[in-house]
Amino acid sequence: MTDELDGGWAASAQAWIVEQGEEGDYGRRAVLDAPMLARIEGRGFARALDVGCGEGRFCRIMQRLGIRTTGIDPTEALLARARQLDPAGDYRLGRAEDIAEEAQFDLVVSYLTLIDIPDVEAAIAKMAAALRPGGTLLSANLTSFNTAGMPEGWRRESDGGLRFSIDHYMDERAVWVEWRGIRIQNWHRPLSTYMTLLLNQGLQLRVFAEPTPAAGDPEQIARHRRVPWFHIMEWQKPA
């Protein structure tokens, strides 16, 4: 029952910590970190909220840029690891749907967390409310055609070739995914769901990008280019 309530995160926390290490997994290191940082560096952000901060990796990265960070996450074991690695950091137990701060941050980051949140409508509303006027919401998320192929995704056809299959794209649903001791719940939603919820908050889209790997073996890079995992969006709250 606990797994059902928390999406599997409590049971998977230690395996997740091992998987991420201090530098993050392949998708973060090789695909997302550089373009995410390119949207942050030199922009004058002073205070950031990292929603679903996990073990605090991206908070620590933003701190190296001189940004004061607050991280929230609903998984106590991940927060304990964040505090261990960053004893002076501000890490709080909480869910995106329950963010209490309003107009406190000039940057709100959702780094691969929207897919984990059951009530994404409430979460996006709270993220937007936490922004100061003129502030930025920066998100990295799994592409919706990718989540529409979960959990099987890639399959080997009878001719030996690999194909990625998607189905029921318009149907929102929870999907359990498993790898290397991790078993967590992700949510598939069509891209239009995210776009509509963000637009309904009065946010203005500034950037939409589908980054490609900057490193990795050729087969890994080629597969990503066939079916990209991620997109990045930057939204601005009107001043």
pTM for this prediction:
0.95
pLDDT, average across residues 182-203: 98
For 12, 21, 104, 126, 169, the CA distances from 165, given in Å and listed in that order, are 27, 31, 42, 34, 11
Residue 55, domain extent: 2-236
Query: What CATH number is given to the structural domain containing 130?
Result: 3.40.50.150
**What integer pLDDT is reported at residue 152 of this predicted model?**
84
Is 99 a residue whose pLDDT tops 70?
A: yes
The label of the residue with tokens 């939204």 reads 235
Split at pLDDT 50, 70, 90, the class of 4 is low
Q: Is the pLDDT of residue 5 over 70?
A: no
What mean pLDDT do residues 8-28 have? Answer: 95
For residue 25, pLDDT over 70 is answered with yes
Structure confidence at residue 3 (pLDDT):
58
Confidence of residue 75 (pLDDT cuts 50, 70, 90): very high
pLDDT band at 17 (very low <50, low <70, confident <90, very high): very high
Q: In the structure, what pLDDT confidence band is assigned to residue 211 with cuts at 50, 70 and 90?
A: very high
The answer to whether residue 224 scores a pLDDT higher than 50 is yes
How large a percentage of the chain has pLDDT more than 70? 98
> CB–CB of 112/139 below 8 Å?
no
Taking the C-alpha atoms of residue 41 and residue 65, their distance in angstroms, rounded to an integer, is 7
| Structure confidence at residue 1 (pLDDT) | 44
pLDDT of residue 229: 95
How many domains, the chain?
1
Residues whose CB is less than 8 angstroms from the CB of residue 37 and which lie 6 or more positions away in sequence, other chains included: 61, 65
Kindly report the average pLDDT of the chain as a whole number.
Answer: 95
Average pLDDT over residues 75-95: 97
